[in-house]
Each structure stands twice: as C-alpha cells, then as structure tokens.
Amino acid sequence: MTGPHRPIRTRPRSCGRPPAEAYDTALLDLDGVVYAGGEAVPHAVEALAEARGAGMRLAYVTNNAARTPRTVAEHLTRLGVPAEPEEVVTSAQAVARMIAEDLPAGSRVLCVGGEGLAVALRERGLEPVESADDGPVAVVQGYGGPEMPWGRLAEAAIAVGRGLPWYASNTDLTIPSGRGITPGNGAAVEAVRIATRWMRPAPEPKVAGKPLPPMHRETILRTGAERPLVVGDRLDTDIEGAYAGGVDSLLVLTGVTDAAQLLTARPEHRPTYVAADLRGLHRAQPEPVAAPGGGFSCGGWTASVRDGALVLEGEGDDPLDGLRALCAAAWTDAGEGVLRAGTDKALAVLGL
C-alpha cells in the first residue's frame, strides 16, 4: 500500500492500463459505491456492465450485515447490475465463520441485527436467539436497519454484562443513505459498550468486518481472487482493509470520503487510485511525477508544500489530476503523519 515516499503507487503489473484490465476481480463495497439509499449511484450500472464485459469478475463486499446475500443480489439485479448470491460477501458471513470456529455446532447465539445475520449464523450451524434469557452462550451485533428496536440493544447489554463472549459484524459508526449519513452498527456497539462500562475489565467485541483480516479472508475464500482490487468509499474500512490485506485499492468519491479527508489521510488510509465514481475502473490513472522545481505534477497541475502549507498551480483539464498531485505532495511531506495547512485553499482551486 501507499507509503510516505510513494504517495499514489501504480504497481508495475498495471503498466498504465485501466484498473479493469490490470486486475482480475473487483471487490466492491456497496453503500456509497454501487448504491445509496437503495438507488444506484450515478454511472455505476454502466461502469460495472462494462467491467464485466471486459472480463473482470465482480464481487460485492459489504460491512452491512442486515440483508442476506440473496436479497442483496436481487436488489442489485433490479438496479440493472445482474448479480448472483455467490457474488455477495457480507460481514455477517465473516462473523458467523468466526463464531463457528470458537463455539460448538448448535450453540445458541443472541443475534442483535437483521435477517442477514440470523441466516449467516444458521448456515454455520449456530442457533440465533433474541433474548438474553434464551440460553445464549455468545452475543453478536450486526446492522439491523433504522427500525431495529432499542430493546434489542438492551438484550445485548444484559448478555454482555453476564460475561458472554461478544462479537460484532463491524464497527462502522455511520452508513450512507439517500437522505444523508445515518448511524451504523458501530454506533449500536458503542451503546452496548457504554451500558457495560461498569465491568472490569471493560468488555470488547471481537470484530470481523472491514478493515480487519477476518473479512478479507472471507472474501478471498469465497471469490478465489488472485489479483483483486478493493473498490470503496471509506478510508477507515475499505482502504485500510486493502492495506491490511496487502492489495491495491481504488477510492471513489461517491460516498462518505471527500477530497479534504483524502488529503489528510494516514498511510494506511491512502489508496492506490482515486476516481470520482466507478467510471474510474476504465480510465488509466496518471501517476504524479516529481516536478523540476519541487513538488509533484499530474495532468497539467503542480502541487507542492511551501512554508508548511499546500499550494496548487496550473490549469489542468481534470480536477482529479490536481487532486492526485495534491495527495502526492501532502502525503510525501507528511510522511507517517498528516498535513492540514492549506488544504481548503488548494481544493478550492479545483472546485472540490
């Protein structure tokens, strides 16, 4: 993954080709990448059809544990993205595998989440229950949608307070919707954490979802990808998950992350590529190069750090090339840290 002195890396195997030609499988996040609030993100349907037509395999990898793979595949198909359940990998599947490796077959598990989590548990030979008084030997939390009753969190807190092992499909604090950003499963996990903070030592859940290794392992086991490209909208899950798995990543700016957050990303949050949307799968991405007078140039833009602040000059045709140059300058100057001065002014030049 990106290091402090090679800010946006193009691996030799890509040879300047579009990502859809350089990688065998796209591991696509869903919320904020393919759809938002149930509707397709602009250009996603056409871009994915083109990628599949070019021979790229598509896998849909989501931290959202609420729905089953079949339900997700049916939703994608209705949106114009034909998909099979086998092409969908969820954090519910990853956490269910984790629990099944820890507990005997047939164990009762307090399931605090949606249908997708309950189905994943059953597929691993576990029995989901809904009350702390139903004899569970473990607790698992997964996103249950905006309608999940508060009482389900109360059951989780009671069970965790009794000392039961605690699992979470993921800890994303937020999730994008068609109307804005809403609380994610991580917010529900925090509610249980607050309710059990009287315990010593304080309980901590075992987490399966992105960016942690169990989710990457589940994805590779199910897809068999050999040259995967992680495609996502979140730095702290998608991009960090790619970093942890040692694979390349493409950040699209259609979801949670904006250009300002990208410029101030820590090393483990720095993607290999950046694009406005999924059309970036089909465009060779220029790599910023060292400019003669200092800084980095890309597509007619030159970015540098002067007196501790980012400066952008030039008149390139593509604002994304300017953003790539800015990332190169900011990340190289910051090294393992974060550069913040001048980011707003530099991005204003690009209209980002």
pLDDT in tens, 99-110: 999 999 999 999
Say what the pLDDT of residue 12 is. 40
Catalytic residue among 24, 29, 233, 248: 29
Alpha carbon of residue 114 to chain centroid: 20
For residue 151, pLDDT over 90 is answered with: yes
Of 207, 233, 252, which closes a domain?
Answer: 207
Q: How far apart are CA 269 and CA 237, in angstroms?
A: 9
Residues 193, 167 share a domain? yes
Stretch 315-324: mean pLDDT, rounded? 94
CATH of the domain at 170: 3.40.50.1000
Domains of the chain: total? 3
The percent of residues above 90 in pLDDT, for the chain, comes to 83
Q: 318 catalytic, yes or no? A: no
For every residue of 19-62, DSSP letters joined together read HHHH-SEEEE--BTTTEETTEEPTTHHHHHHHHHHTT-EEEEEE
Residues 281, 215 share a domain? yes
Lowest mean pLDDT among 8-17, 63-72, 199-208, 290-299: 8-17
Residues 26, 51 share a domain? yes
Residues 133, 110 share a domain? yes
Angstrom CA distances, 273 to 303, 309, 341, stand at: 17, 23, 23
Say what the pLDDT of residue 15 is. 54
pLDDT tens per residue across span 165-187:
999 999 989 887 778 888 999 99
Q: Which residues contact 23 (CB under 8 A, 6 or more apart)?
A: 56, 227, 228, 229, 248
Residues of the domain holding 307: 286-352
pTM confidence score: 0.87
- Position 75 in a domain: no
The percent of residues above 70 in pLDDT, for the chain, comes to 96
Residues 273, 169 share a domain? no
Residues 199, 124 share a domain? yes
- Position 3 in a domain: no
Alpha carbon of residue 258 to chain centroid: 14
Say what the pLDDT of residue 43 is. 98
Of 240, 266, 285, which closes a domain?
Answer: 285
Q: Are strands 166-168 and 206-207 parallel, antiparallel or unpaired?
A: parallel
- Position 150 in a domain: yes
Residues 299, 243 share a domain? no
E strand or H helix at 290: strand 289-290
- Position 47 in a domain: yes
pLDDT tens per residue across span 20-59:
999 999 999 998 999 987 899 999 999 999 999 999 999 9
Catalytic residue among 24, 31, 333, 344: 31
Of 263, 285, 307, which closes a domain?
Answer: 285
Residues 124, 50 share a domain? no
Residues 325, 328, 331, 335: is their CA dihedral positive or negative? negative
Q: 29 catalytic, yes or no? A: yes
**Which value, in Å, is the radius of gyration of the alpha carbons in the chain?**
21
Residues 100, 34 share a domain? no
Residues 198, 182 share a domain? yes
Do residues 91 and 60 lie in contact, with contact meaning Cβ atoms separated by under 8 Å? no
E strand or H helix at 297: strand 296-298
Residues in the chain: 352
- Position 351 in a domain: yes
Is the omega angle on the peptide bond into residue 149 within 30 degrees of 0, that is, cis? no
> Average pLDDT of the chain?
92
- Position 103 in a domain: yes
For residue 232, pLDDT over 80 is answered with: yes
- Position 72 in a domain: no
- Position 230 in a domain: yes
Do residues 243 and 214 lie in contact, with contact meaning Cβ atoms separated by under 8 Å? no
Residues 228, 201 share a domain? no
Residues 103, 202 share a domain? yes
Do residues 98 and 126 lie in contact, with contact meaning Cβ atoms separated by under 8 Å? no
